[in-house]
């Protein structure tokens, strides 16, 4: 039977500590040749709203140890919006009911059948936050305890929850262009983490004097000035658009999530602008070590206390969805969560 899960089901079996524990072995497996992934691809058509584009995004990965392969698919309407004078890429909740569509399909490598269908929402936040935290664990100074956070959305929350698991945080400063948003975020996260979280009025105030800088925005332009950074800090980005060339040049040590140079975009002939907000900046990420190599001990995360280290969480990779979807599937089975769907709904007697 194929298991159909909701985000409410997944919330009962996945949290940030679980995500950290599930992801780390698969990064090592990837380096050891026991896991595989396909780089992300995106297919575009004109969108239904003025200035929008439609995007179908896919990424996949498999694990020999887990005996599973996951395919993550999102179907999005995208457009640019400006907030606080900054252009941002925004996903429009254009699906029925004002919602989004993102799925993870989990397959068995033993028999080829479909094990589970899961929404990607909770998994998406967990996998990004956990990857950044694993990098911070290896790259930030051991005594790092003050965080400067840029962003006050779901990804920013995941970054902070994950960082709190790898460093004993003493204080957090958070900036977001909307004052009411950053204030509400600070109050909520302070209550949740029992750590002082202070909303600040500008990004410079959030960054200067901190030990760890975490950018978690949907900005299409750089979010911090290289002059604000100091030796010994660790800075992490979840999108390359958040980082300036000057910040990259300032870093003493750089680690990337994946060496994938750019997303494989597909647009109709003559309509390449549809992918403008998703295209990479042409940075040669393949010259830097990957997170998996650091976790496997094949590359160093930090060499000296005064190094300025940088982690670019540039693209999602398929094994993240494999790790978290597989864990969710097995735990949901044990707890009787989800809805079972007949295998015959998905299988056929005709050889494809």
Q: Are residues 110 and 161 in the same domain?
A: no
Q: Are residues 289 and 179 in the same domain?
A: yes
> What proportion of the chain, given as a percentage, has pLDDT over 70?
97
Per-residue confidence (pLDDT) for residue 213, from 0 to 100? 98
Domain of 59? 2-123+318-345
Domain contains 328: yes
Q: Are residues 224 and 208 in the same domain?
A: yes
Domain contains 351: no
Domain contains 151: yes
- For 188, the enclosing helix (H) or strand (E) is helix 179-193
Query: 3-class SS at 1?
Result: coil
Cβ-contact 304, 269 below 8 angstroms: no
Q: Are residues 335 and 293 in the same domain?
A: no
Tell me what the mean pLDDT of segment 183-191 comes to: 98
Q: Look up tokens 């679980």; give the residue.
A: 18
Mean of pLDDT over the chain: 94
**What is the Cα–Cα distance from 142 to 248, expressed in whole angstroms?**
22
Q: Are residues 27 and 168 in the same domain?
A: no
pTM: 0.93
Tell me what the mean pLDDT of segment 93-104 comes to: 96
Q: Are residues 161 and 229 in the same domain?
A: yes
Question: Residue 29 sits in a domain of what CATH number?
Answer: 3.30.1780.10
* Confidence tier at 280 by pLDDT (50, 70, 90): low
Domain contains 350: no
Question: Residue 308 sits in a domain of what CATH number?
Answer: 3.40.50.720
| Residue 282 predicted with pLDDT over 90 | no
| Residue 147 predicted with pLDDT over 80 | yes
Tell me what the mean pLDDT of segment 114-140 comes to: 97
Domain contains 18: yes
Please count the structural domains in the chain.
2
pLDDT tens track for 65-75 = 999 999 999 99
3-state SS record for 159-172: HHHHHHHHCCCCEE
Domain contains 149: yes
């Amino acid at each position: 039977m194929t298991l159909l899960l909701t985000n409410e089901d997944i919330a009962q079996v996945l949290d940030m500590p679980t995500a950290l524990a599930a992801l780390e072995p698969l990064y090592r497996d990837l380096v050891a040749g026991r896991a595989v992934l396909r780089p992300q691809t995106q297919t575009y058509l004109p969108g239904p709203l003025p200035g929008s584009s439609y995007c179908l995004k896919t990424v996949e990965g498999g694990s020999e140890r887990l005996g599973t392969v996951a395919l993550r698919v999102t179907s999005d309407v995208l457009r640019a919006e400006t907030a606080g004078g900054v252009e941002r890429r925004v996903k429009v909740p254009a699906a029925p009911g004002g919602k989004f569509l993102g799925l993870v399909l989990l397959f068995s490598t033993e028999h080829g059948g479909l094990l589970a269908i899961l929404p990607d929402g909770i998994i998406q936040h967990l996998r990004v936050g956990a990857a950044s935290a694993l990098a911070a664990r290896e790259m930030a100074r051991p005594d790092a305890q003050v965080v400067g956070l840029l962003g006050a959305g779901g990804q920013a929350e995941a970054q902070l929850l994950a960082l709190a698991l790898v460093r004993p945080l003493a204080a957090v400063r958070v900036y977001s262009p909307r004052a009411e948003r950053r204030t509400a975020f600070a109050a909520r996260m302070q209550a949740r983490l029992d750590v002082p979280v202070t909303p600040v009025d500008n990004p410079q105030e959030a960054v200067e004097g901190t030990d760890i800088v975490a950018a978690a925005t949907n900005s299409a332009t750089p979010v911090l000035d290289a002059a604000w950074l100091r030796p010994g800090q660790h800075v992490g980005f979840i999108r390359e658009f958040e980082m300036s060339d000057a910040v990259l040049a300032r870093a003493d040590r750089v680690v990337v999530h994946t060496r994938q140079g750019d997303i494989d975009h597909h647009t109709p002939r003559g309509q390449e602008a549809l992918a403008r907000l998703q295209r990479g900046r042409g940075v040669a990420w393949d010259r830097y070590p990957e997170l998996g190599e650091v976790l496997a001990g094949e590359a160093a995360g930090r060499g000296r206390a005064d190094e300025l280290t940088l982690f670019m969480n540039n693209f999602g990779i398929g094994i993240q969805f494999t790790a978290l979807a597989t864990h969710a599937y097995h735990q949901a089975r044990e707890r009787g969560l989800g809805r079972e769907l007949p295998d015959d709904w998905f299988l056929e007697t005709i050889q494809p």
